[in-house]
Amino acid sequence: MFGKRFARLAVPLLALATSVTALAASVTAGAQETPSASARAYVETSYVIAPKAAGDFTLEQSTYDPEQKYAGAGFRYTVPGHQETRIDVYVYPAGKLDRATALSSGMEGFRADLQRALDAGIYTDLQLDDDQAFMLAEADDAPPPAKRRTRRRDDDIAGVLAAVLQANLPVGRELPMRMNLQPQDWPMHSVGYLFYKNLYYIKVRASAAQSRISAESFDTLTDRAARTLVPAIDVANIGDCANSVIHVAQDASANEIAKALVTQSAEHQLDNCHLDADDAGIAGKSADAEVVVIGFDPGEWTSK
């Protein structure tokens, strides 16, 4: 139901620093093995972990309805000095998808939800801008590119390191909008941010009356909210998704195999899959966080 299968890696990412050839040999050997079938569901349980405080943002309330688990969990945050701005974060299942497909599909659903709210009379005069890429890390905070070297071997390693950076690039989509909130008919600033992380969508929705905050201040505050809250919220998934296999073409070169290893291992790490709650460190992560537990029946999540 929810996407393509990956499995647990036997080769650590740190091996990159040693040798592309060694990596290629390790992956080639692993690629010939066929993992045994598992009786476990792809995802049995998801732990949605939202901090009670992140930066100067404080968790005010959380919501979750087990009868509507595919709607996921909701978290409302406040920030001092901005009582006029409502900041909500929604975390809901997406499945195993490549990032581009996830964001494209997720934005379609986002726009459909807005249309339903418009049809229900919650908003009027809804004006949507084009959605655009949104970086969680400012350009100045991004890791520097690998330095170019004269030797071919170092060039290969630089290419693999560049692939690691690309695979972990924290990019989402931003959708600015304006509307009138009913029944008061208040003109509102509003924006939505959508990210794909840990097999889930994380959507940040913020809005404020135009009479109470300038557009510039609203934009600055909501960008900061997304960049603070999205990295701070995690979903730990328990199930067969903790097992992984690297997929490479049979005729792939050593460098292509190494890039596949790095990019697919990075993607697997972003899925945040574990064998059990102890392996995920749930007890330790729960101390200063609100944890919503979403359980799934067998067959609700599959690897395809």
pLDDT (tens digit per residue) in 152-182: 555 665 666 565 555 555 689 999 999 999 9
**Is the model more confident about 296 or about 261?**
296
- This prediction has a pTM of 0.81
The average pLDDT across 219-240 equals 97
Burial 211-230 (b: 16+ CB within 10 A, else e): eebeeeebbebbbebbbbbb
The average pLDDT across 99-119 equals 94
φ and ψ of 171, to 5 deg: -115, 135
pLDDT (tens digit per residue) in 19-63: 444 444 444 444 444 444 457 889 999 999 999 999 999 999 999
Evaluate the CA torsion angle 205, 223, 266, 290 in order and state its sign. negative
The average pLDDT across 112-125 equals 95
The average pLDDT across 3-14 equals 34
